[in-house]
Amino acid sequence: MDVPVDVSRTTRRLRRHLPDAFRLPTERDPSPEPRHLAAVCGWAAVLGLGGMAVALRAFVGLVSASRAWYAPTVTVIGLIGLTCTIAAFASVHKRRLPFALLGTASVSLVLGWIVTGL
């Protein structure tokens, strides 16, 4: 049974909520809690180091093998992880959103590790 989806209503709701989630802070905004900011920075640093390892494996895979699917797949996985990590910093004033985004970036990193090992 199909449920009708009101696309315009969903679009309006996203336009209303996304700018609040991803925006640069102003001087009126309270600064993020230091422990919260340190946790986001630490997790992002670990992702960055892991991403460098995956990038090295991807480079070796690109040089050694000629598979048509390999380069686009590795690139898309890397861009997803990078975008989620950047978005986590853009939403650092939120309580849970940065950690959900960093979790998604972690999944992307694991997928990149698996794909580059093939």
Q: What is the pLDDT of residues 9-43, one digit of tens each?
A: 777 776 777 666 666 677 787 788 999 999 999 99
In a domain, 53, yes or no: yes
Domain of 74 in residue numbering reads as 33-116
Question: Residue 19: inside a domain, yes or no?
Answer: no
Q: Is residue 20 part of a domain?
A: no
pTM for the predicted model, two decimal places = 0.77
Say how many domains are in the chain: 1
Dihedral of alpha carbons 18, 24, 29, 32, sign: positive
| pLDDT of res. 2 | 59
Residue 97 lies in a domain: yes
Residue 12: inside a domain, yes or no? no
Assigned domain for 28 exists: no
Calculate the alpha carbon distances from 35 to 5, 31, 38, 65, 80 in Å: 41, 11, 5, 44, 26
